[in-house]
Structure 1
Amino acid sequence: MSRLEPGDVLARRYLLLDPLARGGMSVIWRAFDQSLHRMIAVKVLTASLHTDSGARVSVRSEARAAARFIHPDSIEIYDYGETVTTSGGVAAYVVMPLLDGTPLAERIERGPLPWQEAASIALRLARVLMAGHARGLVHRDVTAENVLLTAAGPKLLDFGIAAWAGDPEDDRGTPPYVAPERLLGAPTDPAVDVYALGVLLHTMLTGRTPYPETTWEEIEAARRTEPPPRVPGVPNAVATLCQRCLARLPEERPTAAQIVSALTSALGTATLGRHVRRGLTVAGSAAIALSVLLWFQQARPPEHPPEQPQRAAQPPPPPTANLIERSPAAAITVEQAAAGFRTVLEARTPCGATDDDVVLDLRQVLDATVAPRHGPSQVETASLRAKLSTRLQEGRLTPACLSELQARLDDIDAAVQRD
């Protein structure tokens, strides 16, 4: 297709203002919807559809399917259309909200990301893919250019050109992220998204793609027989997961749901370790300060000798066994602890990303757990703890949110024991 220019109008409605990003398959434009008078983003596919009517039907069907797919970390589809270019070609375009953010590709250009940040982004993207795969949709172009970093977290673009699992393969995709089986014409499968996510995770961790090929011709000529490269300097679980995603055979790769579980576990372990280290540091600093104070008091001569023998100094209290910093639950009731659970669950931090249906479900289980008819001595939090574990495995609860909610359940248990 001919190159579009600022000022061009698609479908007599969408005024193109300036390009925001370019990928292997499309260009994203900042645009103005002249019918609804709002700023939008328009993604125009670079390949012309005028020579293949079957491709036009396929793209239109995929866009309609994707428009019905709604996920908080996937950008909503406003409209899909086709337009005749000045050269006579037919180009497809997808209209989306215009979000304020930075393409992940720009962030990577500044250097590798800390592993926790890279893993958190990959976790959010894996949740989107897990939801899409459950509906039979395969994204096919998970790349750094198709991820927008916003104040609300990473957003995955381009489900507007997704395919149904089992569809015939085509040449849509960005070469460094293309799974090996796509070169052999294998039908579309969720494993191609997993491979691309592995490439993206490796790129975030190292600042470069795992393999040097950047064109279709180069990847078709590549003959890889060695295991995928391993990322150094990150936790073993993360490095191993990345390698598994890059496996040559699709059946050897994890599913998106397994990626969610693995990254949730890795991030949860890191969060717990950070809290413990902080607790040890605080406890150690307090012990040093107390030792210095005691030494100073012993070494300093009294200004006025005491007329009466002084009482022996009391030994300092033993350090607390709970090194994770949180409010003590020594004096709160079951009802107050339950209220604390609700407050954490509905707070913007750390549970702000929790879906509304998950919040409602957890509140209902909590209410049943602490119902007045049970009496304090009959309150049992095991079912709610099991529910939290299930939501974590599903990827619908962050490790930080889980940690805080479990702390509130500890408060409930402590209050029950006192009663």
Structure 2
Amino acid sequence: MHDVWPAPGLLLTSRYRLVTLLETGGMAQVWRATDELLDRPVAVKLPAGDTRAAHLAWREARLAARLSHPGIAAVHDYREAVRPDGSVAPFVVMELLSGETVAARLTDGPMPWGEAVSIAAAVAEALAAAHAAGVVHRDIKPGNVMLCTGGVKLLDFGISATAGEPDDDDTGATFGTPAYAAPERLDGKPAEPATDLYGLGVLLFEMVAGEPPYSVDTWEELAAAQSHGPARLPESLPERLRDLIGRCLQEDPYRRPSAAEARRALTRLIPSTASRRTIPLPTRPPTGSARVVPRLTGAGDPSLNRRRIALGIGLAVVAGSFVVLVNTVGGAEDDAQFAAPPSPSPSPSATRETTAPPAPPSPAPEEKTLTVDAAVGRVRDAVEQGEEAGEIRSDVALDFLNLLGQLDGLSEVKVDDQVDLLSRKVRQRLGEGGLTSDQAGLIQDRLDDLKGASA
């Protein structure tokens, strides 16, 4: 019997062996554990203390079990252990993640806005999936967003609820964290998807500014801070990003964007590389689905106009030669059969038309170069158009766009490594059914062009 419960080495329900205490919060402990039945590492979340925490553990397991999304930490199991005093301790078994939370990342100061946008886009994608399943998270904050090697993960559905569910909590424990709580929650209104969008706006604000709009720890401090107004965003941020954050932080929940709308806006804001290295344009047309039309050069492109003019001159010369040949053959047959009088002399204008010197050969098209920035844009276009056409799943498209956004400022070797990673992702996602084979081929062609930039 352990003097302290729980303790390392404790076996819960004859299956989960506690290894190391990872985190202690106000309502729960999170342990690294081993699932001895399946021989895999897991995270075990044990409630701290009262029956309210135990009830929330059960709710968290039920609601999180509805969700299956790569951006949401998976729940594997729900069990109940018996404490030494005979009381029951329910616990949740979850996916064990490695990485750091956004809260830990922010201890070094604000993030570059491009990194913040990429993270927020992944969170918005996860929220869109949760909202589609009728689940509201209710506690979006830096400590509940983890940056893992495989991507961004949304954690801790401990106070989540079904959309529109009335509060039955007089303690305020399910209201969320004061600095991130939406105004309507303070008025006792049920949580709706718009509640999470307010939290997303605060998260974005803090990632780019280093602090939330109201940097407070208690509800009383929040009320006092609101009388003085929120902190200000840095003036150097792009206007579209400032506008999106402002929309998320609207006091009226009906004026906030949906999670899907926020994801689309954030995806468009993810920056691409600003490198000026160049690579030759491909001489072969890209292969791909007929439903996805690659973005072409505009009508004012000189090389495109020269190709059109050259093609027109060539066709005119061929057509003129064909007319002369038909007239010659037809005239000989008429003379033999009908002995017609000789034709009048051709008019000067006709003579000029048939005896004009051949058109000079069209000049060879100049080799057009493509900046790396433009090459990244071509890959981005292919991904976005594939998503719009329904041939790339939205979470897969976001994964690709996030990896593209990380190309900014990389060295040539690092760009090659990132492009190789994207190529592997394309193959992996194709095997999972996340995009069509035509889309995979088109994106790979564009990636081949981009990789040439480091040659």
CA spacing shift, 1:12–1:347, aligned 2, 3 Å: same
Q: CA-to-partner distance for each residue in 1:174-213, whole Å, 9 max, x for gaps?
A: 2222112111111111111111111111121122222121
What is the letter of the counterpart of residue 249 of structure 2? L
CA spacing shift, 1:7–1:222, aligned 2, 3 Å: farther
Residue 349 of structure 1 corresponds to 422
Whole-Å Cα distance in 1 between the matches of residues 449 and 420 of structure 2?
A: 15
Which of 120, 123, 129 is 1:122 aligned to?
A: 120
Pairwise mapping of residues 216-255 of structure 1 onto structure 2 (< 5 A)? Answer: 216-220=219-223, 222-224=225-227, 226=229, 229-255=232-258
Alpha-carbon contact 1:177-1:195 (below 8 Å) kept: yes
Whole-Å Cα distance in 1 between the matches of residues 202 and 5 of structure 2?
A: 29
Please tell me whether residue 194 in structure 1 is matched to residue 268 in structure 2.
no
Shift of 1:216: 3.3
Which of 362, 373, 380 is 2:436 aligned to?
A: 362
What is the letter of the counterpart of residue 422 of structure 2? T
What is the letter of the counterpart of residue 363 of structure 1? S
Shift of 1:14: 3.4
Q: CA-to-partner distance for each residue in 1:45-74, whole Å, 9 max, x for gaps?
A: 446226x9xx83x75355223213110111
Whole-Å Cα distance in 2 between the matches of residues 3 and 235 of structure 1?
A: 52
Shift of 1:168: 1.5
What is the letter of the counterpart of residue 232 of structure 1? E
CA spacing shift, 1:233–1:281, aligned 2, 3 Å: farther
Residue 49 of structure 1 corresponds to 51
CA spacing shift, 1:255–1:39, aligned 2, 3 Å: same
The structure having more radius of gyration, on CA atoms, is 2
Residue 157 of structure 1 corresponds to 155
> Root-mean-square deviation (CA), in Å?
4.1
Whole-Å Cα distance in 1 between the matches of residues 94 and 180 of structure 2?
A: 24
Give the unaligned 5+ runs of structure 2.
281-364, 376-391, 401-418, 451-455
Alpha-carbon contact 1:194-1:254 (below 8 Å) kept: yes
Whole-Å Cα distance in 1 between the matches of residues 204 and 77 of structure 2?
A: 30
Please tell me whether residue 40 in structure 1 is matched to residue 36 in structure 2.
no
Shift of 1:217: 3.7
TM-score (normalizing by structure 2): 0.59
Q: CA-to-partner distance for each residue in 1:118-167, whole Å, 9 max, x for gaps?
A: 11111111100011111111111222222221111111112465311011
What is the letter of the counterpart of residue 20 of structure 1? L
Pairwise mapping of residues 20-419 of structure 1 onto structure 2 (< 5 A)? Answer: 20-23=22-25, 25-46=27-48, 48-49=50-51, 56=55, 60-83=58-81, 92-159=90-157, 162-169=160-167, 170=169, 171-172=173-174, 173-220=176-223, 222-224=225-227, 226=229, 229-267=232-270, 270-271=271-272, 274-275=273-274, 278-279=276-277, 320=368, 322-324=370-372, 348-349=421-422, 352=425, 361-363=435-437, 404=446
Whole-Å Cα distance in 2 between the matches of residues 403 and 262 of structure 1?
A: 27
Q: CA-to-partner distance for each residue in 1:13-40, whole Å, 9 max, x for gaps?
A: 4343333234554432212334444321
Q: CA-to-partner distance for each residue in 1:192-244, whole Å, 9 max, x for gaps?
A: 11111111111211222221211234335554474773343221111221222
Alpha-carbon contact 1:77-1:95 (below 8 Å) kept: yes
Shift of 1:258: 1.2
Whole-Å Cα distance in 1 between the matches of residues 5 and 217 of structure 2?
A: 22
CA spacing shift, 1:357–1:3, aligned 2, 3 Å: same
Whole-Å Cα distance in 1 between the matches of residues 122 and 431 of structure 2?
A: 18
What is the letter of the counterpart of residue 17 of structure 1? V
Q: CA-to-partner distance for each residue in 1:236-260, whole Å, 9 max, x for gaps?
A: 1112212221222212221111111
Alpha-carbon contact 1:63-1:162 (below 8 Å) kept: no
Shift of 1:12: 5.4
Q: CA-to-partner distance for each residue in 1:82-132, whole Å, 9 max, x for gaps?
A: 456568876543211222212221111122111111111111111000111
Give the unaligned 5+ runs of structure 1.
283-316, 328-341, 368-383, 385-400, 409-419
Whole-Å Cα distance in 2 between the matches of residues 366 and 133 of structure 1?
A: 29
Alpha-carbon contact 1:213-1:219 (below 8 Å) kept: yes
CA spacing shift, 1:366–1:114, aligned 2, 3 Å: closer
What is the letter of the counterpart of residue 371 of structure 2? L
Residue 14 of structure 1 corresponds to 16
Secondary structure of the residue that 1:43 maps to in structure 2? strand
CA spacing shift, 1:89–1:98, aligned 2, 3 Å: same
Alpha-carbon contact 2:430-2:437 (below 8 Å) kept: no
Whole-Å Cα distance in 1 between the matches of residues 156 and 43 of structure 2?
A: 12
Whole-Å Cα distance in 1 between the matches of residues 94 and 49 of structure 2?
A: 19
CA spacing shift, 1:94–1:227, aligned 2, 3 Å: same
Q: CA-to-partner distance for each residue in 1:382-409, whole Å, 9 max, x for gaps?
A: xx9xxxxxxxxxxxxxxxx79947979x
Whole-Å Cα distance in 2 between the matches of residues 366 and 151 of structure 1?
A: 23
What is the letter of the counterpart of residue 164 of structure 2? G
Q: CA-to-partner distance for each residue in 1:350-376, whole Å, 9 max, x for gaps?
A: 682895599655335789xxxxxxxxx
TM-score (normalizing by structure 1): 0.63
Please identify, of 134-143 and 30-39, the stretch whose mean Cα deviation from structure 2 is larger.
30-39
